[in-house]
Structure formats: structure tokens, C-alpha cells
A and B are shown apart, each in its own frame.
Chain A
Amino acid sequence: GQQVMQIPQYQHVQEGEDFTTYCNSSTTLSNIQWYKQRPGGHPVFLIQLVKSGEVKKQKRLTFQFGEAKKNSSLHITATQTTDVGTYFCAGQGGTSYGKLTFGQGTILTVHP
């Protein structure tokens, strides 16, 4: 079945440093989604990428979808303590509406 690998598992940064997490799927995806989960909370949808090579920005967050639609990345510029949490990528293949395959998540810690 479809597998989505996400690295790194943990990332500790000083406030103001940049952060990147990477996802790689074993199969071509119809789209990839990114979620953020604050400690003790539930995952919250951030963005969806659909097109090959797509790049989207949300303030300090930049999301990329690979040309082959098998990999993706999330880059945060100049991290802040409010960025703390776990970031998940989730791939959707074919017509499996809402049936996402999640990566293992990257736990981001930001030291002030």
C-alpha cells in the first residue's frame, strides 16, 4: 500500500532559525496536505498542494510539491515560539476522498 515517509522526526531550533521538514511518498499522489498539531491538541489543516511543482506561501511558511508529485516540503523562515508543534504531511492518492496516508510527523521545538 501507499507509504509516506517524513523526516526528520525531531527538530530543535533556536528562535529565529529556519526549519524544514520533508515528505516522500512511495506512489504518485493526487494531492498532498499539511497539518499542524499543537501539544495536546488536534491536527489542524494548513494547506493542500495539487499541481506538479506547486509552491504556496503562508506568511513565513513555504510549501512545495515535487515535479513527480511524490515528495513535498514545508519550510518555516525565522521560527517563532508559536511555531512549536508537530507538522504532518498527508498524501491522497487517486479518488480516495478523505482517506489520507499520513507521514510520521516532525516534532518542532523552538527555544527562545
Chain B
Amino acid sequence: DAGITQSPRHKVTETGTPVTLRCHQTENHRYMYWYRQDPGHGLRLIHYSYGVKDTDKGEVSDGYSVSRSKTEDFLLTLESATSSQTSVYFCAITWDRGTGELFFGEGSRLTVL
């Protein structure tokens, strides 16, 4: 158990509304990631963080922003949600001195109507 909690676990929202997903970890991991999962696409990296206020874009970052003002929280924001952002979002961590394997949270299912 990597001590990752995602919230909310389920959310339904309307097109054009802002949405923030939260990833909270309790073990002081430095590296955190946001992935989205869609049928036929596997998991795709949205944004990642290598420490407080140190974030960068992944493969599918358009329409998303992130913030990491403290080690334990990594926030993913959809400024104006679109139907194409309907997905399951997974937060993940890696061990600071590991070999890069990911440990995922339980996921947040977002539906944009």
C-alpha cells in the first residue's frame, strides 16, 4: 500500500465547468503522476511532479493543469471540462530510490455531460 488517496472517487459534471481532482499521499514521496485511462488507449500520462512546485507536462496535457504546493497533495484541474475528458483518472507515485515502477491510487471516474 503506497498510501495514496484520490478524491472524489466519482464525479459527474457538465461541459464548461471547472473540476479539480485531488491526490493525497502520506509517505512523503517525491514523485507523483497523473494518468488517464480510456478504452483502447491504455494509460496516458497527463502531468507529473518531481517535487513541490516542480511539475511538467506529459503526453496528453492539453486542457489540464496541475499544482503541488506541498509534498502530500498533487491536484489536477480541468479549467473547463469537455466531454472528451470523460475518463478514469489515476494518480501514481514511484519510490524515491526505486527503479521507476508505479503504484496507483484507486482512481477517480469523471463523467462530463
Contacts and interface: CB of A to CB of B under 8 A. Distances in A.
Interface of A: 1, 4, 6, 9, 31, 33, 35, 41-45, 48, 50, 88, 90, 92, 97-105
12 contacts: A33-B101, A41-B106, A43-B104, A44-B104, A45-B102, A97-B31, A98-B48, A98-B94, A98-B102, A99-B58, A100-B43, A104-B40
Interface class of chain B by DSSP? strand
Which of B42, B43, B44: most chain A Cβ within 10 A? B42
A95 B45 CA distance: 16
A4 B90 CA distance: 19
A43 B92 CA distance: 10
Given A9-B40, A31-B99, A48-B101, A43 B31 contact: no
Nearest to B42: A102
Which of A48, A90, A102, A104: most chain B Cβ within 10 A? A102
Contacts of B45: 99-101
Contacts of B43: 43, 88, 90, 100, 102
Contact of B42 (A6, A41, A42, A97): A6
Contacts of A35: 102
